[in-house]
Amino acid sequence: MADKIFEIQQKSALTKARTGKVALARGTVQTPIFMPIGTVGSVKSLSVLDLETLGAQIILGNTYHLWQKPDLEVMENAGGLHNFSSWQKPILTDSGGFQAWSLDKLRKFSDEGVEFRILDSGKKRFLTPELSMEIQTILDSDIALVLDEALDAQVSESEAKRAMIRTRDWAERSKIEWDKLQAVKQEKTPGKNFLFGIPQGAQFLDLRRESAKLTMELDFPGYSIGGVANGGEPEEIMYRQVLAQTEILEEEKPRHLLGVGTPKDIVQMVARGIDMFDCVYPTRNARHGSLIFKIDENSYETVQISATRFRQDFSPINSNSKFPELRLYSKAYLCHLFRAKELLAYRLATLQNLEFYLDLMHQIRELISQGGFDSWWEKYGPVGSVKL
């Protein structure tokens, strides 16, 4: 039987939203939670001290990229990703499955695994479920993911079923190898790491339900729902994909949604039973000068800070921020930094967007705990979209 790592604390009366805590070796994570993306062991432009000030509880690292650089020898000699990056709180690592989808011109699938052509050198490397487990064991991530095959939203039902079955087979191979590696690891070092399964199914709700049931048969301690928002599908389709699986997956296990999404998407997905989120949206947008600002309890605004309207806006970037820099510097100054391509711009913008996201998660937890989520969640959205 899978280890019990999740405790539900408070449930919404009218939706599937809940607060809870995930007990991991390096700390307890309060949910719902957002995980900043630390692809190569770094959340771009920020230090671990910044992440601690933000209140980040857990970050995400990327198995494929860390396998390439710095490589497994460096990671093993460093004693794992926590020691290497100096981040001592929990880390979740993906499996390489997302790169197998996103690097579509540089990879080739087979039942055995995924062959990648490395862009820098032209060399080929082969990632199997077993090797993904080995890499993640060396990284020593608190939560690892099985290797999966994600697909574009526009695939046929037969393609989606084939990938779903392959993902289930890979999940079984991943779990067998993971259990072996963990048994050896725990003889040497204390603390247990956990492996999450990944239900897929593309946009086909029957396949989504079938995949959830097949993944449940392997009895993972938690799940990471995959393949949502892989092709810019409409919001309602994404929401239905997720609900089809959260209605089936065991309530007592944590549910992570891979790669979603906007602030509105996160609120909608919490209402559909998701506990953990990761997405490049706040950090990638920040590097392109797209900033998210809270308007009120029900709405937010996304702006391009380099726009002319901000050239002489001398108000603080965020007068309520935890960070002195965001209270000190003006929007006009940040506009100038982006126009001048100064590196400080990326850090300030990233701080703003991640602070917004982590504050939103705190707001969600408080609303669920106090019983206010049910009357709030449908109203929440970007400026102009609030329902009356």
Tokens of 294: 């809270």
Catalytic site residue from 152, 206, 278, 374: 278
Q: Is residue 375 within 8 Å of 351, Cβ to Cβ? A: no
* N-terminal to C-terminal alpha carbon distance within the chain: 47
> Per DSSP, what are the bridge partners of residue 10?
19
- For 258, which DSSP code? T
Neighbours of 123 (CB within 10 A): 9
Catalytic site residue from 50, 94, 148, 265: 94
How does 223-239 read in b/e, with b if 16+ C-beta sit within 10 Å? bbbbbbbbeebeeeebb
CA dist 232 → 152, 237, 377 (Å): 9, 10, 23
Q: Is residue 171 within 8 Å of 250, Cβ to Cβ? A: no
- Using DSSP bridges, classify how beta strands 223-225 and 255-257 pair: parallel, antiparallel or unpaired: parallel
Residue 278 falls in the annotated catalytic set:
yes
- Using DSSP bridges, classify how beta strands 223-225 and 114-117 pair: parallel, antiparallel or unpaired: unpaired
Number of H helices, E strands in the chain: 14, 17
Sign of CA dihedral 348, 292, 283, 270: positive
Alpha carbon 269 to chain centroid, angstroms? 13
Q: Is the peptide bond before 129 cis (omega within 30 degrees of 0)?
A: no
Residue 140 falls in the annotated catalytic set:
no
Most distant CA pair in the chain: distance in Å? Answer: 62
Catalytic positions are 94, 278
